[in-house]
Amino acid sequence: MSPKHDETTRFRRDFERLTADQRLRFRVAITHFVEDLRAGGSLRPGLRVREIQGAPGIYELTWDRRHDGRATFEYRTPARGDEAHVVWRRVGGHAIYREP
């Protein structure tokens, strides 16, 4: 079963500002993220997924440690069954934490 996802308008704007290389790196990380969600186990440590302090229910994912690649997201209640539902909120560098 594939996880469902939505994207905020802000996420789409952030994504358009990424370089082609950054977009590729983000897509690779998301492929791993989706594989882990499908498997139903824990997320691989390399993605460094954790809840953001001071922003309950919003999580961060590291997609490029060398170049400060981060994304924020939240889980929503699945529309059907146990299918994961993720809403991507922001993508970029540390600046996204000001308004995750």
Here the CATH number for the domain that contains residue 17 is 3.30.2310.20
Q: Which of 51, 67, 47, 58 is nearest to 99 (CA)?
A: 58
CB 4 within 8 A of CB 84: yes
Domain enclosing residue 38, as ranges:
4-98
Full DSSP string of 14-39: HHHHS-HHHHHHHHHHHHHHHHHHHH
* Domains contained in the chain, number: 1
For the chain, 100 residues long, the average pLDDT of each consecutive 10-residue run is 84 96 95 90 90 94 90 85 86 89
| Contact predicate 52/61, CB 8 Å | no
Task: Determine the longest span between alpha carbons in the chain, in angstroms.
Answer: 38
